[in-house]
């Protein structure tokens, strides 16, 4: 894994949370994007070399809605940048991790993504991210 790509935070109200994080970080968000397949709307902030992703549910049965119902607002996942997500999935499976997405899927911010089950990572949902290269 190359670096921490971003930290994902589940929020109930994206607009209110954007205002809060803009005050906190001293910078506006640089992108809002909906990932319809996941039932989520995201907003991204940069703070130095780091990124924060705010996640708001758009459907009551989405993973973020379920997370908010069970745990409330807060850190949802930590994402790591990888150069080759397919190889990294295979490596991690070989190490005994439970991969939730055997095949990477398109995520927000021009990334291919896959997740590791938190039961195998000390309760932390881990996301793998690979930049989609335009051909």
Mean pLDDT over each residue of the chain, to the nearest integer: 94
Percent of the chain with pLDDT over 90: 87
pLDDT in tens, 2-28: 899 999 999 999 999 999 999 999 999
pLDDT in tens, 102-120: 899 998 888 999 999 999 9
C-beta neighbour count of 103 within 10 angstroms = 10
pLDDT in tens, 33-89: 999 989 999 999 999 889 999 999 999 999 999 999 999 999 999 999 999 999 999
Report yes or no on whether pTM surpasses 0.85: yes
Token look-up 């991204």 returns 44
Q: Count of residues for the chain?
A: 135
> Residue 27 and residue 38: Cα distance in Å, rounded?
27
> Residue 135 and residue 131: Cα distance in Å, rounded?
12
Residues 114 and 135 sit within 8 Å (Cβ to Cβ):
no
- H/E stretch holding 112 reads strand 111-116
Residues 53 and 43 sit within 8 Å (Cβ to Cβ):
yes
């Amino acid at each position: 894994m190359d670096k921490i790509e971003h930290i994902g935070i589940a929020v109930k109200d994206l607009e209110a949370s954007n205002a809060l994080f803009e005050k906190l970080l001293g910078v506006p968000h640089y992108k809002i994007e909906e990932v319809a397949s996941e039932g989520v709307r995201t907003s991204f902030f940069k703070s130095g070399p780091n990124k924060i992703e705010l996640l708001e549910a758009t459907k009551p049965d989405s993973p973020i809605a379920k997370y908010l119902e069970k745990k409330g607002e807060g850190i949802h996942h930590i994402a790591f940048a990888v150069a080759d997500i397919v190889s990294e999935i295979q490596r991690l499976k070989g190490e005994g991790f439970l991969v939730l997405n055997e095949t990477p899927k398109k995520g927000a911010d021009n990334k291919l993504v896959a997740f590791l089950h938190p039961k195998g990572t000390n309760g932390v949902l881990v996301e793998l991210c690979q930049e989609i290269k335009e051909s």
